[in-house]
Amino acid sequence: MKLSAVLFLSAVSTVLAGRTLVFPTQTSTSYVEMTPLKPLSLRAFTLCMRVATELSGEREIILFAYRTQHYDELNVWRELDGRLSFYLSGHCVLFKTPELGPMETHLCFTWDSSSGAAAVFVDGRKSLTKIYRKGHVIRSGGKVILGQDPDAYLGNFEAKQSFVGEIGDVNMWDTVLSDSTIRDMFNGKKVERGNVFDWESTQLRTNGDVVVVNREL
């Protein structure tokens, strides 16, 4: 039976900022739905998270999924060959970075529609810039989930693509943050809260076998 629970994370608690989500096993049922603070009609974004996983080898892993009724508006992956990528309603942009592993990694993905500039930050270090989907707009009206890749609107999950491991500190802005701000975030310094997703106040709905672990900072 699928277990559902709604978690309200207090925006004023420093302890809850350390709350993480643990996905213990590969499944086609476990995921967490995130409720945004504003509609995801985006011409730019910075998306950050802290991730740890023991999955290795030729196994793709979904890290973040935003889908409307008919499109994968924004999906973030670790690909079969270990590269990181994100997709905006079509083909992806790929980045060769240090591979994810069991030790926590801080990731940030940035993109700006006006220039097409896209980049990845791994533990505060920036990749080269690539040009991707210049002029594109991410559309609102969908669902954001962690743990699964929906091939239909909140459905048609495949266990072999599911996330297994620990993920937390998921924040999103509708602008591209400066390199120095992203470095400060990696180093644990206080930065402006995400105005699309703020991990300290975002409403989460868990489904299936997901364990919420509270870490004191």
Which of 10-24, 73-87, 152-166 comes out lowest in average pLDDT? Answer: 10-24
Task: Take residue 194 and report the two structure tokens written for it.
Answer: 């995400």
What count of other Cβ atoms lies within 10 Å of the Cβ of residue 161?
Answer: 18
Task: Give Cα 48 distance to the centre of its chain.
Answer: 7
First vs last Cα of the chain: how many Å apart?
34
Whether 12 has a pLDDT exceeding 60, the answer reads: no
Between these two residues, 138 and 217, which has the higher pLDDT value? 138
Question: Using the 8-state DSSP alphabet, how is residue 144 labeled?
Answer: E
* Residue with the two structure tokens 């793709």: 60
Read off the pLDDT of residues 125-143 as tens digits, 9 standing for 90 and up: 999 999 999 999 999 999 9
